[in-house]
């Protein structure tokens, strides 16, 4: 499949590398076509790995992963262009964290909005599904790094898009347990969760962890 991965950070490179290893044709998108990190990634990854600017990358993808820093997501999608994204499944992994004042990051939203929803408002024809932002990049594509049962969460309004994303998480990335939280407003929960994740990381002194949700 032809896939666009927007973003050249750890999340973008990890997702893109995994997709290439599965035999997909992956185009990493960045602000400028000559981005050094994207270029180095494509060179290192070899066959099936390309890099272009956001618009060309989005145009090439049958599905699109949004992996930029959260503050840059909407800008990146605007540069990608509404026509290049229209009717496509957009897997939003970005986190609604503002690091402009350094560490600790603060949430961009207090619970009455989310990045997932703001993407949907700005691009109503895009089928946005929020997922994977609750785990470390390596765990996203290798959930078996964490022992035992543990869960990934999906939020989105388009049932078909959500089913496709669940299939991708299951069959490509190896996720066994997936919880469909509901529509895209449920991204408010998983986006706020990241503050909890940061404190758990401090307490557990590892990034190879996740949560499992036992219920009655």
Stretch that binds its own copies, among 4-12, 54-62, 63-71, 149-157 (CB under 8 A): 149-157
What does the alpha-carbon distance between residue 30 and residue 54 come to, in Å, rounded to a whole number?
A: 5
Q: In whole angstroms, how close is the CB of 100 to its own copies at the nearest point? A: 12
User: Applying CB under 8 A, what is the total number of residues that bind its own copies?
Assistant: 46
195 CB neighbour count, 10 Å cutoff: 14
Q: Which is nearer to its own copies, 17 or 114 (CB)?
A: 114
Q: Which is nearer to its own copies, 40 or 204 (CB)?
A: 204
Contacts of 60 (CB under 8 A, 6+ apart): 2, 4, 25, 27, 50, 52
Q: For its own copies, which residue of 150, 152, 161, 162 counts as binding (CB under 8 A)?
A: 150
Handedness of CA 158, 195, 94, 28 (dihedral sign): negative
Residue 65 φ/ψ, nearest 5 degrees: -100, 125
Is residue 100 involved in binding its own copies (CB under 8 A)? no
Q: In whole angstroms, how close is the CB of 153 to its own copies at the nearest point? A: 8
Q: In whole angstroms, how close is the CB of 17 to its own copies at the nearest point? A: 20
Q: Which is nearer to its own copies, 81 or 189 (CB)?
A: 189
- Interface characters, 78-97, with its own copies (x: CB under 8 A): -------------------x
What does the alpha-carbon distance between residue 107 and residue 216 come to, in Å, rounded to a whole number?
A: 31
Is residue 25 involved in binding its own copies (CB under 8 A)? no
Which tokens sit at 90?
């957009």
Q: Which is nearer to its own copies, 46 or 112 (CB)?
A: 112
In the three-class reduction of DSSP (H, G, I as helix; E, B as strand; rest coil), residue 142 is classed as: coil
Contacts of 154 (CB under 8 A, 6+ apart): 129, 130, 131, 162, 165, 166, 169, 178, 179, 180, 181
Residues binding its own copies (CB under 8 A): 97-98, 104-107, 110-112, 145-150, 155, 179-182, 186, 188-190, 192-200, 202-204, 206, 208-216
């Amino acid at each position: 499949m032809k896939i666009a991965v927007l973003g050249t950070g750890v999340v973008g490179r990890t997702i893109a590398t995994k997709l290439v290893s599965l035999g997909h044709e992956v185009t990493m998108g960045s602000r400028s076509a000559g981005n050094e990190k994207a270029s180095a990634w494509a060179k290192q990854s070899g066959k099936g790995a390309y890099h272009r600017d956001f618009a060309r990358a989005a145009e090439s993808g049958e599905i699109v992963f949004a992996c930029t820093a959260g503050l840059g997501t909407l800008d990146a999608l605007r540069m990608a262009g509404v026509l290049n994204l229209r009717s496509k499944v957009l897997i939003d992994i970005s986190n609604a964290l503002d690091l402009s004042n350094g560490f600790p990051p603060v949430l961009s939203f207090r619970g009455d909005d989310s990045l997932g929803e703001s993407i949907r408002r700005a691009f109503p024809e895009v089928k946005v599904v929020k997922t994977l932002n609750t785990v470390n990049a390596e765990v996203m594509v290798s959930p078996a790094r964490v022992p035992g049962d543990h869960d990934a969460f999906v939020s989105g309004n388009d049932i078909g898009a959500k089913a496709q994303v669940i299939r991708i998480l299951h069959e490509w990335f190896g996720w066994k347990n997936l919880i469909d939280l509901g529509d895209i407003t449920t991204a408010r929960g998983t986006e706020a969760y990241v503050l909890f994740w940061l404190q758990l990381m401090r307490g557990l002194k590892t990034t190879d962890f996740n949560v499992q949700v036992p219920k009655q």
